[in-house]
C-alpha cells in the first residue's frame, strides 16, 4: 500500500491519512505501508507514521514549482483541488510512486 502526503495540504488531510493507516493496520496488519512524504517540519506526524510501521520515502520533486504555475493558470472552477495549492500538489505526487518506490507490487 502506498500513500502520498505533503505538509502543504490542509490539516484535514492528516486526520484522513491516520484513519486510513489505522484501518490498514486493523484489517491487513501484515501489509507493508509506504508513503511518499513531502516536508520536514511535522516531526509529530513523522513519529506517528514510524510508530505505525510506515516506511517513509522523502519526496521533494523538481517539478513542484511547475505544478503551482499550472494550478494558477488552470480552470479554478473545474475542480475543488485548484482552490488549495497543497492539495493540488498532493494530487500530482502520485506520478512519482513508480520512480521513488522500486516494487512491482508493494
Confidence at 26, pLDDT banded by 50, 70, 90: very high
Helix (H) or strand (E) holding 72: helix 64-73
| pLDDT of the residue at 23 | 98
Structural domain containing residue 32? 2-100
Task: Answer whether residue 64 is part of any domain.
Answer: yes
Instruction: Give dist(CA 22, CA 26) in Å, integer.
Output: 6
Q: HSE on the CB side for 51, CA within 13 Å?
A: 8
Task: Answer whether residue 105 is part of any domain.
Answer: no
Task: Answer whether residue 50 is part of any domain.
Answer: yes
pTM: 0.83
Average pLDDT of the residues of the chain = 88
Which residues, other chains included, contact 93 with Cβ-Cβ below 8 Å and sequence gap of 6+? 4, 5, 6, 36, 38, 59, 61
Question: pLDDT of 56-81, one tens digit each?
Answer: 999 999 999 998 998 888 777 777 77
Q: Copy the grid coordinates of residue 57.
A: 520515502
Confidence at 106, pLDDT banded by 50, 70, 90: very low
Domain count, the chain: 1
Amino acid at each position: 500500500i502506498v500513500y502520498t502526503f505533503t505538509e502543504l495540504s490542509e490539516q484535514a488531510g492528516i486526520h484522513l491519512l491516520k484513519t486510513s493507516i489505522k484501518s490498514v493496520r486493523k484489517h491487513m496488519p501484515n501489509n507493508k505501508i509506504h508513503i511518499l512524504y513531502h516536508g520536514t517540519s511535522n516531526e509529530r506526524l513523522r513519529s506517528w507514521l514510524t510508530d505505525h510501521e510506515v516506511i517513509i520515502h522523502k519526496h521533494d520533486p523538481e517539478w513542484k514549482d511547475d505544478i503551482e504555475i499550472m494550478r494558477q493558470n488552470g480552470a479554478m472552477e473545474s475542480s475543488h483541488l485548484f482552490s488549495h495549492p497543497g492539495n493540488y500538489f498532493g494530487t500530482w505526487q502520485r506520478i512519482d510512486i513508480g520512480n521513488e518506490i522500486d516494487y512491482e507490487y508493494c
